[in-house]
Amino acid sequence: MRIAIVSDIHGNLPALQAVLRDIERRGVDRVVNLGDSLSGPLMVRETAHFLMAQDWVQLAGNHERQVLAGAPGASDEYARSQLGPAELAWMATLKPSLWLSEDVLLCHGTPDSDVTYFLESVEPGHMRLATGAEVDSRLGDVRAELVACGHTHLPRSVRASNGTLIVNPGSVGLPAYDDDHPVFHQVQNGSPDARYAIVEQVGGEWTSTLLAVPYDFRAMAELAERNGRPDWARALLTGYM
């Protein structure tokens, strides 16, 4: 079994299309999408229509939940303004986590939260790698050989103490952001490339490959600027805030 994992597309359809061309070149059995697919100042409706036409397993991230709830915030408000009843109805069918098989769990954040960072921890003034004990605590009682998560936009592969491989593919569409939850912090990849992962079962063990794909990020940065989001424009151009 060979699975491509995408996450955190954030309406960046050109980045997603570049990733899919790379996926097709490498060959996989299936594609899964871990959510946060539309929120932001980019190609919201076009991305929704593209995703609605796929036969992928797709999750809801925290931003799907927030868009549906009409939560405040520029990215979610813009996304909702671009979506009609059909797109919102599709979004409402998505789950925050699900078992792909008896030993593979998909989630957006952690198995029981769409906003908790799985493999990183936030402290006042900075973000750091999560300790092994923190990763184990967030995994909880889940018994899976593989857990795929997104949310932090940081590509990473970590093995919990019980042997579970936890893979975050990084973000397809947004390489840097800042957030006030639980305290102010910045997340930065330092590169504008689109990110995704391929996981594969080899000899009964799961392995992961984290991939970076170039695309026309300047066009998306210009779109963000036109839509009043210079913060997104800088992130898309540089991978930094």
pLDDT at residue 124, rounded to an integer: 86
Q: Average the pLDDT over 79-103 and give the result.
A: 98
Strand arrangement, sheet containing 165-168: 97-101, 104-107, 146-148, 165-168, 156-159
Let me know if residue 64 belongs to a domain. yes
Domain containing 53: what range? Answer: 2-236
191 class by beta-carbon count within 10 Å (0-12 exposed, 13-18 middle, 19+ buried): middle
Confidence of residue 207 (pLDDT cuts 50, 70, 90): very high
Let me know if residue 22 belongs to a domain. yes
User: How do residues 32-88 score in pLDDT, each as one tens digit?
Assistant: 999 999 999 999 999 999 999 999 999 999 999 999 999 999 999 999 999 999 999
Q: Average the pLDDT over 88-114 and give the result.
A: 98
pLDDT at residue 139, rounded to an integer: 98
Share of the chain above pLDDT 70, in %: 100
Q: Average the pLDDT over 85-92 and give the result.
A: 98
Q: Average the pLDDT over 171-193 and give the result.
A: 95
How big, in percent rounded to 5, are the helix, strand and coil portions of the chain?
30, 30, 40
Confidence of residue 94 (pLDDT cuts 50, 70, 90): very high
Q: Average the pLDDT over 207-222 and give the result.
A: 98
**Rounded distance, CA 150 to CA 30, Å?**
17
Let me know if residue 58 belongs to a domain. yes
Q: Average the pLDDT over 11-37 and give the result.
A: 98
* DSSP assignments along 73-111, one per residue: SHHHHHHHHH--HHHHHHHHT-BSEEEEETTEEEESSBT
pLDDT at residue 125, rounded to an integer: 76
Query: Which CATH number is 52's domain given?
Result: 3.60.21.10
pLDDT > 80? residue 191:
yes
Nearest Cα neighbor of 44 from 228, 239, 224 is 224
User: Domain tally for the chain?
Assistant: 1
pLDDT at residue 143, rounded to an integer: 95
User: How do residues 151-181 score in pLDDT, each as one tens digit?
Assistant: 999 999 999 999 999 999 999 999 999 999 8
- The amino acid sitting at 110 is T
pLDDT at residue 210, rounded to an integer: 98
Let me know if residue 18 belongs to a domain. yes
Kindly report the backbone phi and psi dihedral angles of residue 12, in degrees, each rounded to the nearest multiple of 5, phi listed first: -95, 80
Let me know if residue 119 belongs to a domain. yes
Let me know if residue 126 belongs to a domain. yes
Judge whether 101 and 57 are in contact, CB under 8 Å.
no
pLDDT at residue 15, rounded to an integer: 99
Judge whether 35 and 90 are in contact, CB under 8 Å.
no
Let me know if residue 146 belongs to a domain. yes
pTM of the model: 0.97
**Rounded distance, CA 171 to CA 189, Å?**
9
Let me know if residue 224 belongs to a domain. yes
68 class by beta-carbon count within 10 Å (0-12 exposed, 13-18 middle, 19+ buried): middle
